[in-house]
Amino acid sequence: MTIAPERLSVQRVADVVSALRSVLRDDQILTSKPDRYNRARVPAPFPVHRWAERVPDLAVLPESTEDVAAVVRLANDLRVPVVPRDGGTGLTDGAVPLRGGIVVDVKRMNKIHELDLDNRTVTVGTGISMLKLNEQLARHGLFYPDDPASYPCSLVGGRIGTSGWSLIGSRYGHTRDLVLSFDHVLPTGEIMHVGDGIGRKITKSSSGYQLKHLFMGHQGTLGIATRATLKLFPKPEAELSPFWAFDNYDDAYACVGALARAGVATFAGAVLFDEYKVAYLRRDDEAYIPQPGDVRALVCAAMYGYEDEVRPAGKRLFRIAKEHRARYLGDEISEGDWAARHDRYATPLHGRTKAGQVVPMSWHCEDAAINYTNLPAVTREWHAIVADLRRKTDVFDDWGMFAYTNSVTGADYLTEIDVGIWEQHLDDAAWELWVKAKRDLAAVSLRYDGSISACHGSCREGEVDLVPEELGRGFQVMLDLKRTLDPNNIMNPGKYLLDRAYAENGGDR
Partner 1 sequence: MKDVDGPEHSPSYPYRYAEQYSPPEPARVSDVAITTFEHVYEVDPRLMQRWVLQQTFPNWDSLRIMASRQDHLDWMHRHFANTVVNGSVLLAEVEAEDEANPPSTAAPQQEAPR
- Tell the smallest beta-carbon distance from residue 245 to partner 1 (Å): 13
**DSSP letter string over 197-221?**
BS-SS-S---SS---TTTTSSSTTS
CB 392 within 8 A of CB 330: no
| List 148, 158, 236, 450, residue binding partner 1 (CB under 8 A) | 236
Q: Which of residues 418-477 bind partner 1 (CB under 8 A)?
A: none
Contact window for partner 1 (CB under 8 A) among 353-361, 374-382, 461-469, 483-491: 353-361
> Given strand 82-85, what is the order of strands in its sheet?
29-30, 58-60, 102-105, 82-85
| C-alpha span between 179 and 163 (Å, rounded) | 10
Contact window for partner 1 (CB under 8 A) among 95-103, 187-195, 317-325, 482-490: 317-325
| List 10, 26, 286, 391, residue binding partner 1 (CB under 8 A) | 286
Any contact of residue 139 with partner 1 (CB under 8 A)?
no
The per-residue b/e assignment along 193-228, b for 16 or more CB within 10 angstroms, e otherwise, is ebbbeeebbbeeeeeeeeebeebbbbbbbbbbbbbb
| C-alpha span between 297 and 274 (Å, rounded) | 5
| C-alpha span between 258 and 322 (Å, rounded) | 11
SS3 at position 230 = strand
Any contact of residue 358 with partner 1 (CB under 8 A)?
yes
| List 12, 73, 201, 235, residue binding partner 1 (CB under 8 A) | 235
Contact window for partner 1 (CB under 8 A) among 73-81, 130-138, 215-223, 493-501: 130-138
Any contact of residue 131 with partner 1 (CB under 8 A)?
yes
Q: Which is nearer to partner 1, 63 or 284 (CB)?
A: 284
| C-alpha span between 160 and 96 (Å, rounded) | 16
Any contact of residue 408 with partner 1 (CB under 8 A)?
no
CA 47 to each of CA 42, 54, 415, 419, 440: distance values in angstroms, whole numbers, following the listed order: 12, 11, 25, 15, 20
CA neighbours closer than 13 Å in the CB half-sphere of residue 1:
16
Size of the site for partner 1 (CB under 8 A): 53
SS3 at position 86 = coil
Residue 451, φ and ψ in degrees, nearest 5? -115, 145
Q: Which is nearer to partner 1, 24 or 240 (CB)?
A: 240
| List 356, 391, 473, 506, residue binding partner 1 (CB under 8 A) | 356
- Tell the smallest beta-carbon distance from residue 65 to partner 1 (Å): 30
Any contact of residue 73 with partner 1 (CB under 8 A)?
no
Enumerate binding residues for partner 1 (CB under 8 A): 131, 134-135, 138, 143, 147, 235-242, 258, 261-262, 282-284, 286, 289-290, 304, 307, 310-311, 314-316, 318-320, 322-323, 328, 330-331, 334-336, 339-340, 342-343, 350, 352-353, 356-360
